[in-house]
């Protein structure tokens, strides 16, 4: 069953502290001469009717992307679920597509698979999986779960996977292509991905 794109909202999670990146804002760092978050914007723009960025610092810098910025409801840095809840509070969309700012290999077709699975399985959440573990911040979520999520966070729990497993969940198997979910957490990760990109470009000739 096809889902009307107008009913789909998107949020890119860029609100973390990036401790392993020495508190540098990952979304604003360059990968292949473009800000890392620009790849998420491109992927999301192919599947959603509206798009927002969840960010808790460097708001002035993020304004360059000409998208609405939303912050967490408090200053506790409560993790991805806090950003998701903030997005749910600021959208009228029936479905919220979620991805982090630091996974530049994900494209719109991967996000579309999540949306399709949500509809095909009549689930409340579709989450990416590699067959053994969840990639728990790549999601399509029905926004009717807002109160459920708010209650979960109200118990001082933050772990994404625990909340997901409590829901009507479908796990979308990306086995064989799970490397697309590689996320840049450290300077070494960024260098590794840059080198891999250069190697791939050389072997394409």
pLDDT tens-place string over residues 10-55? 999 998 755 555 557 889 999 989 999 999 999 999 999 999 999 9
**What does each C-alpha distance from 158 to 78, 79, 129, 152 come to in angstroms?**
6, 7, 20, 8
Exposure of 147 in the CB half-sphere (CA atoms within 13 A): 1
Look over the chain and give the mean of its residue pLDDT values, rounded to a whole number. 89
- pTM for the structure as a whole: 0.91
* CATH of 5-203 among 3.90.550.10, 3.30.530.20, 3.40.190.10, 3.20.20.150: 3.90.550.10
Query: DSSP E strands: which ranges in the chain?
Result: 8-13, 30-31, 34-35, 50-54, 69-70, 95-100, 125-129, 134-142, 169-173
Instruction: Say which DSSP state 171 is in.
Output: E
């Amino acid at each position: 069953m096809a889902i009307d794109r107008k009913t789909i909202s998107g949020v890119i999670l860029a609100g973390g502290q990036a401790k392993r990146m020495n508190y540098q804002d990952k979304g604003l760092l360059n990968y292949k001469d473009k800000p890392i978050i620009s790849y998420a914007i491109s992927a999301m723009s192919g599947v959603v009717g509206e798009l927002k960025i969840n960010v808790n610092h460097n708001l002035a810098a993020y304004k360059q992307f000409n998208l609405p910025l939303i912050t967490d409801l408090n200053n506790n840095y409560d993790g991805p679920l806090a950003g998701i809840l903030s997005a749910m509070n600021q959208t009228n969309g029936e479905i919220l597509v979620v991805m982090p700012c630091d996974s530049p290999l994900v494209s719109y077709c991967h996000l579309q698979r999540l949306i399709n699975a949500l509809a095909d399985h009549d689930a409340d959440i579709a989450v990416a999986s590699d067959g053994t573990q969840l990639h728990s911040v790549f999601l399509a979520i029905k926004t009717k779960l807002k109160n459920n999520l708010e209650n979960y966070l109200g118990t001082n729990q933050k772990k994404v996977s625990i909340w997901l497993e409590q829901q009507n969940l479908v796990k979308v198997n990306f086995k064989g292509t799970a490397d697309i979910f590689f996320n840049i957490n450290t300077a070494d990760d960024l260098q590794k991905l840059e080198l891999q990109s250069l190697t791939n470009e050389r072997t394409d000739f």
